[in-house]
Structure 1
Amino acid sequence: MGKFNRYLITAALPYANGPVHIGHLAGCYLPADIYVRYLRARKADVKFVCGSDEHGVPITIKAMRENVSPQDVVDKYHKIIGDSFAAMGISFDIYARTSSPVHHQMASDFFLKMYNDGLFEEKESEQYFDPVKNVFLADRYIVGTCPKCGNDKAYGDQCERCGSSLSPDELINPHSALSEAVPVKKTTKHWYMPLQNYEPWLKQYVLEDHKEWKNNVYGQCKSWLDSGLQSRAMTRDSSWGVKVPLPEAEGKVLYVWFDAPIGYISATKELTDNWADYWCKDDTKLVHFIGKDNIVFHCIIFPAMLKAHGGFVLPDNVPANEFLNIEGEKVSTSRNWAVWVHDYIKDFPDQQDVLRYVLCSTAPETKDNDFTWKDFQDRNNNELVAVFGNFVNRAMVLMHKLCGGKVPRLHSEYLDESDRELLGHLAAAKEKIESSIENYRFREALAEVIDLSRKGNIYLQKNEPWTLASVIEKLNQQEQHPKYPQYTEKDLPALQGRIDNCLHIALQLTANLAIFINPFLPFTAKKICHLLKVVDRMLDWENAGSDKLLSVGYSLRAPELLFRKIEDEEVKAQVEKLHAGLKLAAAAAAPAPVAEEKPAAPAKPEIQFDDFAKLDLRVGTILQAEKVEKADKLLKLLVDIGTEQRTVVSGIAMHFQPEDIIGKQVTLVANLAPRKMRGIESQGMILMAEDNGKLIFVNPAEAVKPGSGVS
């Protein structure tokens, strides 16, 4: 806990243009909630803020598709998203929205402060314009025929049918989605933030002061900073959003990635009058929980904004998770390949903690991970039911059967090695779980809790209190027990003492498990408290590790199962539902006829082995990737080939997003003569395969060391 007197925890603002899916939960909302619940149990001064991101092109696109206003869209999805979070136990102190008057004022004031301090650059550029509607068009407002697959509903930035990245210039018969008019280019003025001015400070802040950040976060930031920052537009032409508070800025709004993170501040202001304590005092710990697609905005752009404005604390950590795939495929909302949270709640009522458990135990903390319904079933049945739930149920059942439904006393004279060993595990678990949670290793912390319950099962099995009870029963009947004939009547006190000790310790462990599991499975923790007839105050972290949580002689409720088994039919139905949704989305897209497949390229003239041997082919790893300015088709890559790092300019920008190919292995022609492209010297060529217009990297089937030769 250390030097901080208060904590401000944020979770990424979800776009209010659709429901949330389990990838969102696993990415940032569940980890944030676990961390906050732990802090609250520690009695820390903590605020947990989030809200709907209600501006930007995705909102207006959704409104256009549904023939409603943007306000109608955000009102609809703000409620759906908020209800889903609440049902899953995501315990925000406030779930705000960026369309609120408080946020508009806060964002306007923030921009105006920077403007008055002379921190923006004014630049003119050419952008597409609808001459009929008299508005500038974002790429998504330009529709035409995809040159790759013939889809006549492709957008100016992407074809959602074949997945190709596009630019408006490439579309066949482009037209405005607003009026059907052919767009023209027109000059417009915007305000840019010169991020390059903050580069030295950012390198110190991120690369030197926060080397403890997760590898994926640190690495992505380093890649951006090493590549050099450039000025970035902080305004755009639109009628939906926070209006730019300048007289000459009619028809312009704040760019959504300037406006959205300020939503954390405005949400805190809506929550509490002393909001400035959480944003402006140095003894506040600010932590952003996000997905990996938001790393740059939260680690570079927003900190630069806070630094430029002045007076705000900076993020102490940004523990971003990777992506969660579903059944082996990337989540795709456009293809309806997703498990929607509101659907899960309907299909599995009162099973929120099962999903929380599975998503945490398989969380993509260091790499992309996969959710499958079979794994969901297995983890529930084999871990929650068979291990954690089984231990709690056994302890409660045996206590009622052997101890009259009351907590038995602990006989110090009959404590043995197994008792001391389990109590030792209990004391050690607290420190391990604390360390894991405070270092954002939630999977590790949860595994420790489950392992503790597993040790409890082993303890019960080793001591067999039910067998000791049968020995007592036989002795009272003046008979010998066939399994333990060595016991006699003089052993009766010791036998009863062992039963009491075993169940006393098992019940104390049960109470501790409620405390430990509470940040992860809060509904389950409350159920255990109900069974033990204790108030929720027992869940305070200061009680963890204690073997004196339940009073001797205290009556407990009858046992109830904490979890139920998930049946095969339920899993099968969910998989079928997933595939049915995919088919419905495909049918709704109503694609145009597929363009004829291109014939295979004709064979090239025969060469001799000596000709091939001249090529120096090496496997490289892409370290950095960025678009080349004023060149829609070019990406500038930094490729590690073992002995050195090469700059390569490749014409693949229409097929890949820069952030998606970092870390990919490629085959490089390493001895190709350097060639200048757009003023950049390209030191090699990446080998690609083309499949009906789709480009695919030629790379080894398994990861190899950069610089490995290809022969």
Structure 2
Amino acid sequence: MSGTERSAGSTRPAIIIAATPTPNGDLHVGHLAGPYLAGDVYARYLRALGRPVIYTTCTDDSQTYVVATAARQAVTPQALCQRSTVAIENSLSAMGISMAGLPPIDDRYRQTVLSFVTRLYDTGRLRLRTVRLPYAERSGTYLFDGLVTGACPVCLAGSCGGTCESCGHPNSYDELLEPRSTIDPTDPVGYREQAILVLPMEDYRQRLTEYFEARADRWRPHSMQLIRELLAGSLPDIPITVPGGGWGIEAPFAETPGQILYPWIEAMPASIYSTWWAAGRQGEPQPVEVDELWRAERDAEVVYFHGFDNTYHWGLMDLTLLMAHGERYVLPESNVCNEFYDLEGSKFSTSRNHLIRGSELLAEVTRDEVRFFLALTAPEYQRTNFTRQALDEVTELRLIEPWNALAEAISLLIAGRAGGMLATTPAGRARAALVQARLRAAYELDTFSVARAAETFADQLARLRAMAEDGSAEPGDLLLEARTLLAGAAPILIDLAEQAGAAGVQLDLLAEPATEVPAFELPRLASRIESPDSPTAELLTRTPALDGAV
């Protein structure tokens, strides 16, 4: 990029993993405002630095939430997964999430999961434990995760099994208070003992403690508080197998006949598999061994993006699973965790139909508008709120109207100068360098914040518009600063940046401010998708009819 000196370590490969979406429905706006947009912005930033990046995820088909939702909808889990996976992939693509797609959950996937777990078994890392599990007496079903609901034993909030969305603490086995079946709340619930295989997290306490001491400043405070709370007490065993009723991957161990692998432990080998699959789809040489890109000697920078409610799983459980493989795998550099994004004052809820699906919003609003507003209001450190009225008003006030006014002022300013070069001043170059530095700081992992990036862009856009309209800026300075600002906003405003680049505007996030710039026009922003035949609208309709209903 124009001979710009790269920062140290900039050629290090990066693997970015967004939380694996459960295929029990399409993604809603709350999902998109969390890990998927944030991970995409970080991936695009690293690519702008010249870093090799794989940004990926895959559906977690084995989750009990698929079974519970399928039962409510009176369809098979297989049919629900098929429909939801297509919808999720279409929504990610329509949102401009720069993944290679969602990999198939096929025999190669299952073999990757089984190999990952069998290696722990063969090296003696697993233990056989007898545990007490909730049991639906009438249906004869063991209840865990999405199959059971009750009260959290730590904060008393309503919670499903596994972990509490409110406080983030795990509730293992029989710890959930007043359990009842999510599929049939009238089914009496008792308890039965079962011998299962577990990975004792306590065995890795020292290494876990050292890991978090070294990386605490890269975690957001709420998630780090939860990690410290968990490390302050006895660490739970990680279930490796559970009596699962036939949905999921069959456990291959003689000690646990008829059981399945606990769905949550698939996320780590699933991420390894997704990385391998995505490498091939990106045109890179696909490794012979699926886990090669995660090997410690490859020294990849691994970063997870997920919600606070998954802090225990992605931050502690999956980390322990990697550590249990000795020094085989690289450990994540950081977990970037978001809080909940509310819809008109309360949490998005599929069961209450209190949601706006990403596909619905993107069929009406351009994705640059959606990306800008979701970035600006991202729930990074506390819950934030989405309303459609706010999206319309804020994007018009802080993005569309000032951008188009700036573009119009620049067009008038350069009239008659097409193809000419305009000189910049030292003051203009200094301002451009400051803006570039502020935006880059918002994208660096240690200080990552899409909200701050969007806020910086909006503030600087207002400043440039005022300069253009009052005539206080040198023409060359104004063009340089506008070009620098758009280069810095390119990871968020992907379509605007693409249009400008296609028109010949140089967008280099690392370029030193130039002493002269060519005269150029800026593309205008449209506020709405005008035609139902637009590419985005067409993409969002490619969801197959549901088949396989019970």
Corresponding residue to 1:206 among 209, 212, 215: 212
Q: Is the 8 A contact 2:421 2:516 kept in 1?
A: no
CA offset at residue 457 of structure 1? 1.8
CA distance in 2, matches of 1:545, 1:6: 28
The aligned counterpart of 1:393 is 408
Q: Is the 8 A contact 2:43 2:55 kept in 1?
A: yes
CA distance in 1, matches of 2:187, 2:440: 61
Q: Which amino acid aligns with 2:526?
A: F
CA offset at residue 271 of structure 1? 2.5
Q: TM-score, normalised by structure 2?
A: 0.81
| 2:411 is the alignment partner of 1:410 | no
CA distance in 2, matches of 1:131, 1:431: 62
Q: Is the 8 A contact 1:49 1:93 kept in 2?
A: yes
**Which protein shows a greater Rg?**
1
1:325-382: CA deviations, max 9, x gaps?
111212222111112101112222xx11111101111111111111222321221111
Corresponding residue to 2:43 among 27, 36, 44: 36
Q: Is the 8 A contact 1:94 1:267 kept in 2?
A: no
The aligned counterpart of 2:239 is 233
The aligned counterpart of 1:460 is 468
Aligned to 1:364, the other structure's residue is in SS state coil
The aligned counterpart of 1:433 is 439
Q: Is the 8 A contact 2:500 2:523 kept in 1?
A: no
- Counterparts in 2 of 1:426 and 1:255: CA distance versus 1, 3 Å: same
% identity of equivalent residues: 23
CA offset at residue 386 of structure 1? 2.8
Q: Which amino acid aligns with 1:276?
A: E
Q: Which amino acid aligns with 1:26?
A: A
CA distance in 1, matches of 2:450, 2:189: 50
| 2:66 is the alignment partner of 1:66 | no
CA offset at residue 514 of structure 1? 3.0
| 2:329 is the alignment partner of 1:316 | no
Corresponding residue to 1:127 among 133, 149, 166: 133
Corresponding residue to 2:271 among 261, 264, 269: 264
CA offset at residue 502 of structure 1? 3.6
The aligned counterpart of 2:381 is 366
Corresponding residue to 1:449 among 445, 457, 470: 457
Aligned to 1:52, the other structure's residue is in SS state coil
CA distance in 2, matches of 1:79, 1:91: 16
CA distance in 2, matches of 1:422, 1:260: 49
1:507-549: CA deviations, max 9, x gaps?
333333331221011011112234x345xxx434333644545
Aligned to 1:457, the other structure's residue is in SS state helix
1:58-88: CA deviations, max 9, x gaps?
1111222233321111111000011001000
Aligned to 2:256, the other structure's residue is in SS state coil
CA offset at residue 426 of structure 1? 0.7
Aligned to 2:98, the other structure's residue is in SS state coil
Q: Is the 8 A contact 1:392 1:510 kept in 2?
A: no
Q: Which amino acid aligns with 2:216?
A: H
- Counterparts in 2 of 1:373 and 1:44: CA distance versus 1, 3 Å: same
The aligned counterpart of 1:96 is 103
CA distance in 1, matches of 2:64, 2:31: 20
Q: Which amino acid aligns with 1:527?
A: Q
CA offset at residue 448 of structure 1? 2.4
Q: Which amino acid aligns with 2:492?
A: F
CA distance in 2, matches of 1:371, 1:168: 31
Aligned to 1:122, the other structure's residue is in SS state strand
Q: Is the 8 A contact 1:20 1:340 kept in 2?
A: yes
CA offset at residue 170 of structure 1? 5.0
Corresponding residue to 1:223 among 221, 226, 229: 229
Q: Which amino acid aligns with 1:196?
A: E
The aligned counterpart of 2:371 is 356
CA offset at residue 8 of structure 1? 0.8
- Counterparts in 2 of 1:114 and 1:143: CA distance versus 1, 3 Å: closer
1:290-338: CA deviations, max 9, x gaps?
1111111122111111011130000101111111111121222211111
Q: Is the 8 A contact 1:13 1:260 kept in 2?
A: yes
Aligned to 1:96, the other structure's residue is in SS state coil
Q: Is the 8 A contact 2:404 2:525 kept in 1?
A: yes
The aligned counterpart of 1:136 is 142
The aligned counterpart of 2:364 is 347
The aligned counterpart of 1:379 is 394
Q: Is the 8 A contact 1:290 1:319 kept in 2?
A: yes
Q: Is the 8 A contact 1:407 1:504 kept in 2?
A: no
CA distance in 2, matches of 1:564, 1:332: 28
CA distance in 2, matches of 1:167, 1:316: 32
Q: Is the 8 A contact 1:393 1:560 kept in 2?
A: no
1:454-475: CA deviations, max 9, x gaps?
23223223327xxxxxxxxxxx
CA distance in 2, matches of 1:180, 1:397: 71
CA offset at residue 138 of structure 1? 4.1
- Counterparts in 2 of 1:314 and 1:168: CA distance versus 1, 3 Å: closer
The aligned counterpart of 2:199 is 193
Structure 2's unaligned 5+ residue stretches are: 1-6, 152-157, 163-170, 280-285, 530-550
Moved more, 194-203 or 447-456: 447-456
CA offset at residue 227 of structure 1? 2.1
Q: Which runs of structure 2 are paired with 1:568-587 in the superposition (5 Å)?
A: none
CA distance in 2, matches of 1:237, 1:29: 32
Aligned to 1:309, the other structure's residue is in SS state coil
Q: Which runs of structure 2 are paired with 1:16-55 in the superposition (5 Å)?
A: 16-55=23-62
Q: Which runs of structure 2 are paired with 1:521-670 in the superposition (5 Å)?
A: 521-530=493-502, 532-534=503-505, 538-543=506-511, 545-546=513-514, 548=516, 550=518, 561-564=524-527
Q: TM-score, normalised by structure 1?
A: 0.64
CA distance in 2, matches of 1:525, 1:230: 48
Structure 1's unaligned 5+ residue stretches are: 147-153, 159-164, 465-500, 567-711
- Counterparts in 2 of 1:269 and 1:192: CA distance versus 1, 3 Å: same
| 2:475 is the alignment partner of 1:503 | yes
1:584-643: CA deviations, max 9, x gaps?
xxxxxxxxxxxxxxxxxxxxxxxxxxxxxxxxxxxxxxxxxxxxxxxxxxxxxxxxxxxx
CA distance in 1, matches of 2:315, 2:176: 31
CA distance in 2, matches of 1:254, 1:382: 51
Moved more, 521-530 or 315-324: 521-530
Corresponding residue to 2:342 among 325, 335, 343: 325
Q: Which amino acid aligns with 2:311?
A: I
- Counterparts in 2 of 1:338 and 1:93: CA distance versus 1, 3 Å: same
CA distance in 2, matches of 1:396, 1:109: 60
Q: Is the 8 A contact 2:63 2:248 kept in 1?
A: yes
CA distance in 1, matches of 2:321, 2:184: 34
The aligned counterpart of 1:6 is 13
The aligned counterpart of 1:302 is 318
CA offset at residue 397 of structure 1? 4.0
- Counterparts in 2 of 1:132 and 1:445: CA distance versus 1, 3 Å: closer
1:473-500: CA deviations, max 9, x gaps?
xxxxxxxxxxxxxxxxxxxxxxxxxxxx
Corresponding residue to 1:113 among 109, 119, 128: 119
Aligned to 1:109, the other structure's residue is in SS state helix
Q: Is the 8 A contact 1:9 1:46 kept in 2?
A: yes
Q: Is the 8 A contact 1:6 1:278 kept in 2?
A: no
Q: Is the 8 A contact 1:139 1:168 kept in 2?
A: no
Q: Is the 8 A contact 1:511 1:528 kept in 2?
A: no
Q: Which runs of structure 2 are paired with 1:135-214 in the superposition (5 Å)?
A: 135-138=141-144, 170=178, 185-214=191-220
Query: What is the aligned length?
Result: 494
Aligned to 2:333, the other structure's residue is in SS state strand
- Counterparts in 2 of 1:376 and 1:181: CA distance versus 1, 3 Å: closer
Q: Is the 8 A contact 2:146 2:182 kept in 1?
A: no
Aligned to 2:342, the other structure's residue is in SS state strand
